[in-house]
Structure 1
């Protein structure tokens, strides 16, 4: 009798107890997870304009605050949610997370003041923490070790495709509804209702298709103090791990700039040029999608290049591309500009290169005996990148100028590039 122990998804060998259906369900959930998280960042400027009528000069700080509290809640809840999934299983936690997101999408357009919107964001963040934690946990559970790299690559492709299609499809809905005579606020409510319905369907799919039961092997969770001490000691012993931590920090900071401030700037510029709120969100969709498609396609090329080049060199190249992209992005924010396509492509390439480079440098340099602590501390650096960019970027966006967050992150990318070059020169002189 054939058992699920020998199950495969294409060339991916699945862990004992996992079926092809379990793996396919997870890939669909990954597709929707990142799609919904990308969409909520993209649509928030629309809510500030259409529902709350927040002045353009205050929107940067508003968006920064929303992003900051979301990350704080996620950081506080990720450990309890992980422990809960160890006790009751991944399936109910992932499914409930999507139901929670659906409720959040229904609540968002009901907010009439910024404190109400912030409360909705706090509520939504609980669902974000649940699906985000399960996205990483089920990814670790599903493949056998010899197929892990391939399955991670497939999952990354599904995530990138989800982010692209969610914004491409749902981002066009408000204008289509407005063209039929619907006012901007109601059009936003209907659009978010569609996102909520998609989350409910995905929650049902997760409940039906993910592996039942609790995990057979549960790794011991290190206390935060031990994780920090061990991860920092590894970096002091090997400066390349410091480089990987820096790459992790800036790659997630890049994601905030693209997901929050890039879309906000495009929408604000379109409105300032006389377009309606619905037309503005539609105009912002194209550059955003170009950035994501560029990242999606180049991820494959860059992944192949990594096998033929030094991993630190790859990080230096990633930082150079990202630095040029973000500094250029500081100058160009008009969705109708002839340069916007070039900037969008550079932003997408820089982001994906930084993400891939950080993971590959970590995988190569992290000592086997402290690997968990090194990757755990890298995750903390990623969260710090998000917190830094949402807090500082939002303030700079309003007070200094709309291009300021791009310039700051561009300078950070260039600084990390210089550190990488120093490491390469030090290695060559040994």
Structure 2
């Protein structure tokens, strides 16, 4: 019989029958899932121009439309894959997800109309939903409760590494291939084919490397109606309600960065600086990489802060950084100036800060009896943030200014910030240890 010492890996206390290869496969899934999820929206400006000849004045609305319906598909698919992964295990669902994503990525540059692109994007979104659902559950499956925090922190690090690989390698491929003699169209086809091949290999690895079966039910196993009913009922806890609002901001921020940051820089580079679309995309990837690099470095700082001070106060700090970072883009006309680098730093820190502090807050406040529903509604709140960011952000990008989506979410972050400050003042002094899990509001 294995001892507890023999079932430790990377400083984590492993659950029964979980092996080191299982854990390594899981963290590789975390890395590649974010890599592919970042690649599709961030490479889209190149595709819209070089393959579909969409005028730049329509890029914002088209990108918003694609993101909107993709998120709708993800919401529906998550409600299906949660119970499926509980019944048949995480391994087949995760492998299936990466294989479907591979098909979507491979087909993406072959779309000849926006309608065809939307259909392919929905196929890709179904695969992403399968992977996302199982990754959430695998943390609970693979480690014991006393290692849950460290396991989640390591997951965040792998997510950051995946995002960095996307911006510093995958988004550079079209420019690299064009410098090697390929045309823009050929470079695009080759780039998407390479990424699709990586996703296919990852899917096969999941089918062989993850542990068969499942240990704990997924928090997405409840129906959407049950999640909505119990999640709303739990919002009578003022801190849970605040966490829902913060999730709206956090996920909306993530979508804004992933879609409109790249679109802004690439469009400006081609129209104002005479750059090729591939070179502009590569330059955009570098700026997004700065934001993601700051997010990667800031993740452990916000995690430590959320454990050492009042968690509402930690969220206030994250929201403040987010509001300032996104709002400061209103002063930026040329995204290639040093001022944009400063904005990127603040945006990266605000993005990861809101994600971590809102997640820690909802985990603290969620009652044991309805934890799945609360976390599920928290996720749904974030999905609504993505939907709003897609529609409103796309409209503002095309009809007002390129920084419009960022300014809009700065205002949203500021409103939730005021909400958090008022709540923190109202509850100040009510608890001696406000950061202890399980405290009441």
CA distance in 2, matches of 1:362, 1:137: 17
CA distance in 2, matches of 1:139, 1:216: 10
The 5 Å alignment of 1:18-417 reads 18-212=18-212, 214-218=213-217, 221-236=221-236, 238-272=237-271, 273-332=273-332, 334-417=334-417
Task: Tell me the CA shift for residue 219 of structure 1.
Answer: 6.7
Q: Secondary structure at the match of 1:108?
A: helix
- 1:10 and 2:10 matched: yes
Q: Provide the aligned C-alpha RMSD in A.
A: 1.8
CA offset digits 1:393-429 (Å, max 9, x no partner): 1112112221111111000011111111111221238
User: Is the contact between residue 265 and residue 336 of structure 2 (CA under 8 Å) also seen in structure 1?
Assistant: no
User: Is the contact between residue 287 and residue 335 of structure 1 (CA under 8 Å) also seen in structure 2?
Assistant: no
CA distance in 2, matches of 1:299, 1:420: 21
CA offset digits 1:234-287 (Å, max 9, x no partner): 222x21111111111100000011000111001101011210111110110111
Task: Tell me the CA shift for residue 54 of structure 1.
Answer: 0.7
Task: Tell me the CA shift for residue 83 of structure 1.
Answer: 1.9
User: Is the contact between residue 329 and residue 347 of structure 1 (CA under 8 Å) also seen in structure 2?
Assistant: no
Q: 1:340 to 1:102 in 2, by over 3 A?
A: same
User: Is the contact between residue 81 and residue 133 of structure 1 (CA under 8 Å) also seen in structure 2?
Assistant: yes
CA offset digits 1:143-175 (Å, max 9, x no partner): 111111111111111011101112210111111
Q: Which moved more, 1:88-97 or 1:4-13?
A: 4-13
Q: Secondary structure at the match of 1:339?
A: helix
Q: 1:7 to 1:429 in 2, by over 3 A?
A: closer
User: Is the contact between residue 231 and residue 377 of structure 2 (CA under 8 Å) also seen in structure 1?
Assistant: yes
Task: Tell me the CA shift for residue 180 of structure 1.
Answer: 2.2
Task: Tell me the CA shift for residue 6 of structure 1.
Answer: 5.1
User: Is the contact between residue 60 and residue 261 of structure 1 (CA under 8 Å) also seen in structure 2?
Assistant: yes
CA distance in 2, matches of 1:314, 1:131: 30
CA offset digits 1:61-94 (Å, max 9, x no partner): 1000110111111111112112222232211111
CA distance in 1, matches of 2:109, 2:269: 22
User: Is the contact between residue 136 and residue 218 of structure 2 (CA under 8 Å) also seen in structure 1?
Assistant: no
Q: Secondary structure at the match of 2:24?
A: helix
CA distance in 2, matches of 1:353, 1:320: 10
User: Is the contact between residue 6 and residue 16 of structure 1 (CA under 8 Å) also seen in structure 2?
Assistant: no
- Structure 2: 5+ residue stretches without partners: 431-441
User: Is the contact between residue 270 and residue 334 of structure 1 (CA under 8 Å) also seen in structure 2?
Assistant: no
Q: Secondary structure at the match of 1:171?
A: helix
